[in-house]
Amino acid sequence: MIEELRRPITVEMVIQEINRYADSEFRYADKSDEVAIVGGGSRAGLGHPATVNHGLSTGRLTGVTLYEPSEMIVSARAGTPLSEIDRLLAE
């Protein structure tokens, strides 16, 4: 059993734990609670100001996961800044 715990931690494992945490937080929250999903906050001033009891940040979920220039496909995690994608596309 201990040998199983010594394996390297992957991004997928971290994301799975984040999803479990978020699920448990929202499952036990009051049904009237409001939740905001927040990225880097670059567009926070647009629209109506959010007044929420809970926030779920995607700021650490960054990085391009797939880039196929010949197929014009880019896939990125939710918190990836557009500047990172712009740099990739400019190469």
CB 35, CB 54: distance < 8 Å: yes
The predicted model scores a pTM of: 0.54
What's the whole-number mean pLDDT along residues 47-70? 82
Amino acid in position 33: D
What percent of the residues of the chain are helix, what percent strand, and what percent coil, each to the nearest 5?
A: 35, 20, 45
Tens-digit pLDDT profile for residues 9-46: 677 777 777 777 777 666 666 666 677 777 777 777 77
Residues 6+ apart with CB under 8 A from 5: none
Taking alpha carbons only, the member of 68, 55, 74 closest to residue 82 is 74
